[in-house]
Amino acid sequence: MSTSERHTPSKVVVIGGGYAGTVAANHLRMRADIDITLVNPRPEFVERIRLHQFVAETGEVTVDYGTLLGEGVQLIVDSATRIDTATRTVRLASGRALDYDHVIYAVGSTAAIPSSVPGAAEFAFDIAELESAQRLRAQLGKLPFDAPITVVGGGLTGIETAAELAEQGRTVTLVCGRTLAPSLSAPARRSVATWLSRHGVAVLEAEVVAEVRPHAVVFAGAAVRASALTIWAAGFGVPELAAASGLRTDRLGRLLTDETLTSLDDDRVIAAGDAAAPSGRPLRMSCQAAQPLGAQAANTVLSRIAGTEPAVIDQAFTGSCVSLGRRGGIRQLSRKDDTAVNLYVAGRMAAVIKEATCRLGVSRIRREARKPGSGFWPKGGPRPEQPTFAPQGVTSP
């Protein structure tokens, strides 16, 4: 083998520029001999954990990639339509094809409005992605301030959305479908219920929406409730790229991997974030999980390039943060396995913690851009080494 052949850079394509993908792309720069391409359908990073603020016009959600990606990471604004493992190319919606030695699959999550609920897809708005949040924000701006709004979903996204609107004086009904905040401890749930009641939110804990109409929702028992705007926040789905590429997925469509985040079908495809299902047991969809998984996926690629055995994931949760408007919140503590314990922080202090957590998500990406490996050291991962790089602008060929 010639010297030029030995030093041909490895080509790594990262699909998805969210919390996992941006960390992975920056973390790969721990080696200087990798060509890194990040494919994302939008030219800006979206802070998805702030989308409820964007809808209520209490915060913005986009960040310039030029401040987040380190030198040498090429951004291509396009959508991946297929991973062709036979030819080792990623095919894009524009018709372009990108050659790769390794792919990091970090496509994130999407809305999940069930087709089994008549009218939901036609008349309900979701809050899972920037474009749908933009449509929802525009629609909200057309409504009288006292128009009845229904939020479907008693999980953390539904609670944050209902609270953000209620704090502004909107008339909000929260339909839980079973239990309010099932992932929180009983004391924390009571605290959330108290806040919502104090701010006028009608919480229908056991009700299930059976139909969505243009100006109403219908419950399973046939009761009808006026709803000038219905927001669907009852869970998430994932893009269909893995299945469309002939790779094995779980029921939801997450890429099935082993404990090193490597696809069960191809060891050159590594997954991270919401769309990964290690050993068929996916972690909770969250920024808290996505960023370490992004670094872990990058470390798996680095290990394969180096010819060493990748480490298995060792992800630990610490709890969850829920905003209740701009001045309240809940910081729920948990065991390592994400099981809630009867210990939480509420009120203004929790709001401060939540805001700090949101800021930390972006600052960690920037830290990786400045010094690859400085923000995340997953189990078995290499330590940072010189040289370091400063963030620079990105390109969009």
Q: Give the tens place of pLDDT for each residue, 167-204.
A: 999 999 999 999 999 999 999 999 999 999 999 999 99
* Residues 220 and 259 occupy one common structural domain: no
Chain position carrying tokens 């029921």: 251
Asked whether 49 and 356 are in contact (CB, 8 A), the reply is no
Q: Confidence class of residue 315 from pLDDT cuts 50, 70 and 90?
A: confident
3-state secondary structure at position 116: coil
- For the cut 80, the answer to whether the pLDDT of residue 241 exceeds it is yes
- For the cut 50, the answer to whether the pLDDT of residue 7 exceeds it is yes
Asked whether 178 and 155 are in contact (CB, 8 A), the reply is no
* Structural domain containing residue 203: 120-234
* Residues 105 and 133 occupy one common structural domain: no
* Distance from the first to the final alpha carbon of the chain: 33
* Residues 8 and 76 occupy one common structural domain: yes
What's the pTM? Answer: 0.92
pLDDT of residue 5: 46
Residue 354: inside a domain? no
- Pick from 234, 268, 285: which residue ends a domain? 234
* Residues 101 and 243 occupy one common structural domain: yes
Asked whether 39 and 92 are in contact (CB, 8 A), the reply is yes
* Residues 57 and 79 occupy one common structural domain: yes
Distances (CA, A) of 295 to 49, 270, 289: 19, 11, 10
- For the cut 60, the answer to whether the pLDDT of residue 383 exceeds it is no
pLDDT of residue 384: 38
Residue 32: inside a domain? yes
* Residues 245 and 365 occupy one common structural domain: yes
Chain position carrying tokens 């069960």: 264
What token pair was written down for 48?
């998805």
- Pick from 218, 234, 250: which residue ends a domain? 234
CA distance 22 to 15: 10
Asked whether 14 and 24 are in contact (CB, 8 A), the reply is yes
- Average pLDDT score over residue span 235-239: 95
* Residues 21 and 98 occupy one common structural domain: yes
- For the cut 60, the answer to whether the pLDDT of residue 389 exceeds it is no
- Pick from 234, 258, 277: which residue ends a domain? 234
Residue 300: inside a domain? yes
What token pair was written down for 396?
């969009």
- Average pLDDT score over residue span 125-141: 97
Q: Confidence class of residue 397 from pLDDT cuts 50, 70 and 90?
A: very low
* Residues 251 and 363 occupy one common structural domain: yes
Residue 329: inside a domain? no
Number of domains within the chain:
2
- For the cut 90, the answer to whether the pLDDT of residue 274 exceeds it is yes
- For the cut 60, the answer to whether the pLDDT of residue 392 exceeds it is no
* Residues 214 and 307 occupy one common structural domain: no
Beta bridge partners of 295: none
What token pair was written down for 35?
């060509």
Residue 345: inside a domain? no
Query: What amino acid occupies position 79?
Result: S
- For the cut 90, the answer to whether the pLDDT of residue 94 exceeds it is yes
CA distance 312 to 131: 35
pLDDT of residue 377: 55
Element containing residue 138 per DSSP (H, E): helix 130-142
Residue 8: inside a domain? yes
- For the cut 80, the answer to whether the pLDDT of residue 1 exceeds it is no
Residue 31: inside a domain? yes
Asked whether 9 and 34 are in contact (CB, 8 A), the reply is yes
* Residues 222 and 269 occupy one common structural domain: no
* Residues 365 and 260 occupy one common structural domain: yes
* Residues 149 and 103 occupy one common structural domain: no
CATH label of the domain that carries residue 170: 3.50.50.60
SS (H, E, C) 142-199: HCCCCCEEEEECCCHHHHHHHHHHHHCCCEEEEECCCCCCCCCCHHHHHHHHHHHHHC
Q: 285 — alpha (psi -120 to 50), left (phi > 0) or beta? A: beta
Residue 331: inside a domain? no
Query: What amino acid occupies position 129?
Result: E
